[in-house]
Amino acid sequence: MTPMHPRFRLARNGIALLVAVLVIGTAAPARSASEAEVEEARRAREAAAAARAAALDDLDEAVRVYEDLNGRYQSLVFRIGQMRSRIDAYEDEVRRMRAAIRERAVSAYILGPQQSTGSGLMVSDRAQQALVARQVLARAVEEQAASLDNMEAITAEMARLEEELETQTLEASDLRVEAEAVAARMYELLEESEAELASANQELATAEAALAEQRRLEEIERQRRLSLEYRQNLIREALLNPAGGVPDDVTPGFVCPVAGPNHYTNSWGAPRAEGRRHVGTDLMGPKGTPLVAVASGIVRPGTSLLGGNNLWLISDYGSAFLYAHLDGYPSGQVYGQWVAAGTVIGYMGDTGNSAPGAYHLHFEIRPNGYNTPPVNPYFTLISHGC
């Protein structure tokens, strides 16, 4: 076996690197539906795609090397054929020359007496024939010596070249076998890398599907938590400690009630006239600041000695919100009208028992309906950045 071609060494090094990449980059099955798992599967898929690309590059290189060696092999075969043809031609020429020499000798032998007439030599027929034959052979050898020497030299050179070409043919044959083996291995690695890529694609799809399913189940759970039974449990717990307010799940989609500058503190339970306690949050702001519906529902405007111009908002999910000390209402708004969350339903004022000029909105949350106890709205307002 001849030394390995440098390009084959590179190809084999590429194969070793590719095998390492395939081993390291194999995607692990998705075991959970977390985003981290999906990202890991995505990275594994990218690694498998890179390994496949590397396999294609190495395969292209192996094919180029194979074609180069095969071309050299075919060229050697052609040269060997040409040289053998030349050797065959020279062998035919040798046979022709030898036949001509024999023919001359025979002819001289047969015609010897006539050719020797007038020579003045008195010798026997047999001696004369022998002499003629020797003379003819001497002339033939003399005439053909240069050609024969040249023919022998060329024949020897052809034999040497044929031996050299046979050696090169064996070498080319070995290289061709090696090239075919490399190409075959590259095809195997390509198939493996394609299988890895297909597996990684499947793992990624599975992980993404699992994540989507998990999110779907989480949404179902969220909806369940917003169900009446769940809300009622939260409300019951809140009513046992009204100063702590209610969880956001009790007031889904809450919108800040004051559409303008305002400030407030946690004044729940602060003392009021006649031994009363404050059961809401006072949001202070400029007179006439728009007040909006914190949820979609029905509005019920009214008046009272304590609250002045006030309004109940009965939300679609059952909780009620009280707006008090309003300066007025939007034109055209009527009792029992349904409004969407964020709709202007009143304006900040100081009506009722509010100190003159102390413009503010007294805001209450009654999670179980307008005729049930209130809970502290401060934490809901803070939670929504009001």
Per DSSP, the three-state class of 1 is coil
Range scoring the smallest mean pLDDT among 28-32, 182-186, 188-192, 340-344? 28-32
Considering 162-176, 221-235, 253-267, the range whose residues carry the highest mean pLDDT is: 253-267
Cβ count within 10 A of residue 235: 21
Kindly state the helix (H) or strand (E) to which residue 383 belongs, with its residue range. Answer: helix 378-383
| Beta bridge mates, 258 | 291
Q: Which residue has the higher pLDDT, 252 or 151?
A: 252
Answer yes or no: is pLDDT of 22 > 50: no
Considering 10-24, 176-190, 226-240, 254-268, the range whose residues carry the highest mean pLDDT is: 254-268
**H helices within 226-370, ranges in order?**
228-240
Rounded to two decimals, the pTM is: 0.45
Average pLDDT over residues 337-354: 95
Q: What is the pLDDT of residue 50?
A: 84
Band (pLDDT 50/70/90 cuts) for residue 164 is: confident
Answer yes or no: is pLDDT of 336 > 90: yes
189-217: burial string, b at 16+ Cβ within 10 Å, e else: bbebbeebbebbbebbebbbebbeeeeee
Q: Measured between alpha carbons, how far is 93 from 113 in angstroms, rounded to an integer? A: 32
Cβ count within 10 A of residue 40: 17
Residues 6+ apart with CB under 8 A from 366: 319, 320, 321, 322, 372, 373, 374, 375
Band (pLDDT 50/70/90 cuts) for residue 296 is: very high
Q: What is the pLDDT of residue 20?
A: 36
Per DSSP, the three-state class of 168 is helix
Q: What is the pLDDT of residue 348?
A: 97
Q: What is the pLDDT of residue 65?
A: 75
Range scoring the smallest mean pLDDT among 64-68, 215-219, 351-355? 64-68
